[in-house]
Amino acid sequence: MQELSHFIDGARVDGTSGRFADVFNPATGEVQARVPLASKAEVDAAVARAAEAQIAWGATNPQRRARVMMAFVQLLNRDMDKLAEALSREHGKTIPDAKGDVQRGLEVIEFCIGAPHLLKGEFTDSAGPGIDMYSMKQPLGVVAGITPFNFPAMIPLWKMGPALACGNAFILKPSERDPSVPLMLAELMKEAGLPDGVLQVVNGDKEAVDAILENETVQAVGFVGSTPIASYIYAKGCAHGKRVQCFGGAKNHMIVMPDADMDQAADALVGAGYGAAGERCMAISVAVPVGDETADRLIEKLVPRIEKLKVGPYTAGDDVDYGPVVTAAAKANIARLVESGIAQGAELVVDGRGFGLQGYEDGFFVGPHLFDRVTKDMDIYKTEIFGPVLSTVRAQSYEEAIGLAMDHEYGNGTAIFTRDGDTARDFASRINIGMVGVNVPIPVPLAYHSFGGWKKSGFGDLNQHGTDAFKFYTRTKTVTARWPSGIKEGGEFNFKQMD
C-alpha cells in the first residue's frame, strides 16, 4: 500500500502526526493508499515557511510569475494522461471526465498568464496641482485553499493559479479522499519554476482546517465543499479576521418548457444528471417539466436513455458513462435517500437499486435512478443527494417552475430549455441563482468569467476565477503623491480638498 505525504518546501514530506486516512479505489472498494493527516503544528510550520518564501515571490515581477504559469500549462498538457489516470483511480470518474477536470483547471492557469495586465492599478494624472494618485494591487501574503473531493484537479487549480499569479504563497488543503493529483500538481509547479515554499500542500482533515483558520499569518481562505462546512469555515474564518469565500452545495433545477426540443432536453438531462455519477456541484438533480403533457413526453424520452447508461470502472474504456461514487458511505447515503423518496410517495420510474457489476462487487457503484412526481416536501427534493438520482417535479406553469427554483435554499446553477427567447430572457433576468444556462444544462462559466452560486451555495462577496479571483487575492493600496518643490516650507494641518 502506498503511503502519501505532504508537499512542503519543494519536496514530498512524510506526516508526523501519526494520524492517517484511507484512500480507496472506488471501483474495487480496496484501500490503495493512506494519506497523513496534518497536526496543527505541521500546518503552522508550513505556513511559517510559506511566509518566508512569499517575500521574494511577491517581489518578483508579475511577468516572471506569469512565465511560471506558462511553463506549468505546458507541463499539465504533457502529463495529462498521467494526471487523469491518478485522478480516476482515486475519484472513480471516467478518464475522459478526469481529463475534463484537469482541462477546466488548466484554462484558469492560462487566464493567469495575463496577470501582468490584470494586476495593473489605476492612475490619475494631476489629481490636484502637482498631485498624482494611483492604486496598486498587492498580494495578501499567505493565503489558503480548502478543496472538495469531486474535482481534485480543477478546484485546486482554480485556487492556486490566481493566488500565486498575484504574488501570494498558497497553502492547499485538498480533500483527503483523493490527494494524489494535488501532490502531483505541486511537483509540476516546482518543475515549472515556482520557488520552494511558495506552494505547500498540507493533507488533513478538520484539525488541519481549524489550524489554517486559526493561524494569524493566513490572510485569506477560499473553500469549496458542502454547505454545512462552507458556512462553518466562513463564520470561523471571518471571526479570525480573514478574507473568506466559501462555495457550497447545490440542487440545480432544469426547467423544460413545452416548446423545448424534447430530444435535446432529454440528452442534456441524462448527461447533466448522471455524468460523474451525479457528483458535480453543477449536476442537474431536479427536472421541472412544465405541464403534464411535457412531463409525460420527457419521461418517455428519458427512460430508454437512462436504461442504456453504461456504469463501470474507469479502466473499462471510453464508452463507460459514469463510474462509482467516492466512498461506501456516499453509496449508503444515496441508498437511504432513495428509500426515503419511495416512502414519501415519489414514483421510482427507473430503479437503480440492486445494481451490481461482476468482478467489482465491492466497488461503490450506484445504478441510475429516475423519480417522477417528486414534491417540495420530500427529502429527495430538499437534500443534495450527490449521486446518480434525478428527480422530476411536475409544474403546471412557467411561474410555478421558476418559483420552485427560486424558493430552493441552494442557488448554484440552473437551466431552462425552450425555443422562446422572451421566456429565456425573463428566466435569466429574474432567477436568484448564480449561473444560468439557456439550452445549456451545465453552465459552468469559462476561465475569463467567474464561477459562484447564490443563497446557500455561496458565502462571501466575490466569485472564483476570472477577474474576481484577482480581486480576492490582492488588496488595494492607493497612493497620493505630490512632487512640486515647496512641501518643505511647512506642513498642512487641514484635510485638503483637490482643487
Q: Which residues make up the interface to ligand NAD (CB under 6 A)?
A: 146-151, 173, 175-176, 205-206, 209, 224-226, 229, 247-250, 281, 384, 386, 412, 453, 457
DSSP state of 194: P
Angle between helices 80-91 and 95-112 (to 10 degrees): 120
* 131-139, strands of its sheet edge to edge: 123-128, 131-139, 474-482
**Residues 285, 390: contact at Cβ < 8 Å?**
yes
Residue 281 known to be catalytic: yes
Nearest distance from residue 464's CB to ligand NAD, in Å? 7
Nearest distance from residue 279's CB to ligand NAD, in Å? 7
Comparison of 250 and 298: residue with beta carbon closer to ligand NAD: 250
Nearest to 185 by CA among 115, 113, 101: 101
Q: CA 230 to CA 222: how far, in whole Å?
A: 10
Cell numbers for 91: 475519484
Comparison of 44 and 372: residue with beta carbon closer to ligand NAD: 44
Nearest distance from residue 298's CB to ligand NAD, in Å? 25
Structural element, H or E, at residue 154: helix 154-165
Nearest distance from residue 451's CB to ligand NAD, in Å? 6
Q: What is the DSSP string of 403-424?
A: HHHHHSSEESEEEEE-S-HHHH
Comparison of 223 and 417: residue with beta carbon closer to ligand NAD: 223
Q: What is the DSSP string of 8-54?
A: ETTEEE---SS-EEEEEETTTTEEEEEEE---HHHHHHHHHHHHHHH
Return the number of other C-beta atoms located less than 10 Å from residue 136's C-beta.
Answer: 14
Dihedral sign, CA of 156, 157, 162, 168? positive
Dihedral sign, CA of 68, 73, 79, 82? positive
The residue count of the chain comes to: 499
Q: CA 215 to CA 209: how far, in whole Å?
A: 10
Nearest distance from residue 314's CB to ligand NAD, in Å? 19
Nearest distance from residue 364's CB to ligand NAD, in Å? 14
**Which residues belong to the active site?**
281
